[in-house]
Amino acid sequence: MRILVVEDYAPVRDAVAQGLREAGFAVDDVGDGRDGLWHATKNDYDVIILDLMLPGVPGLEILRQLRASQSDARVLILTARDAVEDRVEGLNAGADDYLIKPFAFEELLARVQVLCRRRYNRSDPEIRLDNLVINTTTQQVSRDGVAISLTRREYSLLLFLAMRAGQVVSRTEIWENLYEFNADAQSNVIDVYIRYLRQKLERVDWTPLIHTRRGFGYVLQAATNAGP
């Protein structure tokens, strides 16, 4: 899950970005409206956390341009402006959620997770696939009742595949969603993570879940298809 944080106040920006990264999200953070607008329109984010009073380009302007460009990124406005008319204006401009500073980080996290699920048309915080259960709230993964311990990156990869279960996703797509904008990892690192994930998720008596589509990428699904 890839998230953009646009916030000019560094302490809030840093804390939110750190907290979200630790929760398994790939986070880009910018402190300026112009950078925010560039990132928001050039990259595909699942959720954008947007401050309203920004230097350069105001938050609402970013939101309008984002919606005008047909982006379906979910937008959460995070601001100190608490008046009803401000909230209504923000939501009417196309925001999906509105949170007022100061806020509880847990609440922000929960709202971001809701927005992520909504982006993939899911409402249940638990994703089930065959006997695999992913709890997106507690970030616990189990298969056939056996808890599986994953690293942050492995979990992010699994979640990304699970959200698109049944769809083939390319390495580039995975890489873009796992790594932040200025990460220096290379996309073949994805193959390494897929191997780690397979080792942890699959046993001889369990059906394989992660399938390789040569030339295309990977797909997470329960039934084995005799595909190419």
Applying CB under 8 A, the residues found at the interface with other proteins are: 8-12, 14-16, 18-19, 22, 31-32, 53, 55-56, 80-83, 100-106, 108
Between CA 65 and CA 57 the distance in angstroms is 11
| Cβ 83 to other proteins shortest distance, Å | 7
Q: Sign of torsion, CA 119 152 174 21?
A: positive
Q: What pairs with residue 30 in β-bridges?
A: 6
Tokens of 66: 């984002």
How many angstroms separate the CA atoms of 81 and 58, rounded?
A: 13
3-state secondary structure of 186: coil
* Shortest distance (Å) from residue 137 CB to other proteins: 14
Q: How far apart are CA 69 and CA 130, in angstroms?
A: 38
CA–CA gap between residue 152 and residue 25 (Å, rounded)? 9
- Residue 80 C-beta: closest distance to other proteins, Å: 4
Residue 72 or 106 having the CB closest to other proteins: 106
- Residue number, 100 or 165, with CB nearest to other proteins: 100
Find, among 156, 125, 187, 137, the residue nearest to 25 by Cα: 156
In the complex with other proteins, which residue's Cβ is closer, 52 or 132? 52
Closer residue to other proteins (CB): 101 or 203: 101
Give 41's strand partners.
Answer: none
* Least distance (Å) between residue 52 CB and other proteins: 10
Quick check: 125 and 137 in contact, CB under 8 A? yes
Comparing CB distances to other proteins, the nearer of 14 and 130 is 14
Name which of 56 and 125 has its Cβ closer to other proteins: 56
CB of 223 to other proteins, least distance (A): 37
DSSP state of 124: -
Instruction: Please give the Cα distance from 16 to 31 (Å, whole number).
Output: 12
Q: How far is the CB of 106 from other proteins (least distance, A)?
A: 7
